[in-house]
Amino acid sequence: MTSIRHKGEADRTPDDPFLDAARAAILAVGWSRTTLTDIARRAGVSRMTLYRRWPDTQTLLADLMTREWAGVVDAAAARAHGRGTARERITAVVVATVQALRTNDLVCRIVDVDPEVLLPYLLDRRGRSQEHVADATAALVSEGQREGSIRPGDPTTMARSLLLAAHGFVLSAHTMVDGDAGRDADVAHLDAELGLLVDRYLAPAAS
């Protein structure tokens, strides 16, 4: 499995040791069994130290999710920076992000043990990490429209549409593969189709 690209020491914030401890706790015991007491123990601080920053476990874990998902997207965007048109970069980033999240050890642990954690972000509301992804994608869509590589349209709506499509490829791609490999199924052919889907969705109409 792959995980978020680790920050360099110069990029780390005072919250990162606590978020690292929360991540380790989830991987060890699952989301629903992770407590502030466990996180504090793993971080080597008192529970009151955490309470001064986060009022409860759910708030801390929400910050962890934001860091994790945003980090995956930012790493994919950094690899694609300066390569080709904005449309080509968006296509590369979407596919790379889907692949990274699908094999991310924190995502896999949540899906396997506490899948209900993800349901509010799929059924009821957008999370901060989803907003981060959509905003970054919308900015690239606008860039592509200015250069002519992306068709006209509202960048925010287009970015959110891509995010909706990506959800399915992250969480459900293995269900579209024959056989009994489950989440270990080879979905490379579906990822190739995702690349085509994104590219053709964004492409200007043929003149």
Interval 32-69: pLDDT, tens:
999 999 999 999 999 999 999 999 998 999 899 999 98
Give, in order, the Cα–Cα distances in Å from 96 to each of 11, 56, 92, 130: 23, 33, 6, 16
**Predicted pLDDT at 182:** 84
Residue-wise burial string across 70-90, b where 16 or more C-beta atoms lie within 10 A, e elsewhere: bbbbbbbbeebeeeebbbbbb
Structure tokens at 121: 């972000």
**Predicted pLDDT at 10:** 56
pLDDT tier at 9 (50, 70, 90 boundaries)?
low
Distance from C-alpha of 17 to C-alpha of 53, rounded to nearest angstrom: 13
- Residue 146's CB is within 10 A of a number of other CB atoms, namely 10
Structure tokens at 37: 């007491």
Q: Taking Cα atoms as reference points, which of 193, 158, 159 lies closest to residue 173?
A: 193
Q: Is the pTM higher than 0.75?
A: yes
> Does the structural domain 65-202 have CATH classification 1.10.3720.10?
no
> Which stretches of the chain are DSSP H helices?
16-29, 36-43, 47-51, 57-80, 86-103, 105-113, 119-123, 128-147, 155-171, 188-202
pLDDT tier at 87 (50, 70, 90 boundaries)?
very high
Distance from C-alpha of 115 to C-alpha of 107, rounded to nearest angstrom: 9
Q: What percent of the chain has pLDDT over 90?
A: 71
Mean pLDDT of 16-33: 95
Is the Cβ–Cβ distance between 164 and 114 less than 8 Å?
no
Is the Cβ–Cβ distance between 6 and 72 less than 8 Å?
no
Mean pLDDT of 169-173: 94
Q: Taking Cα atoms as reference points, which of 80, 70, 107 lies closest to residue 195?
A: 80
**Predicted pLDDT at 3:** 38
pLDDT at 207 over 50: no
State residue 150 phi and psi, 5-degree precision. -125, 140
Is the Cβ–Cβ distance between 60 and 39 less than 8 Å?
yes
pLDDT at 28 over 80: yes
**Predicted pLDDT at 190:** 96
Long-range CB contacts (< 8 A, 24+ apart) of 122-125?
Answer: 122/167, 122/171
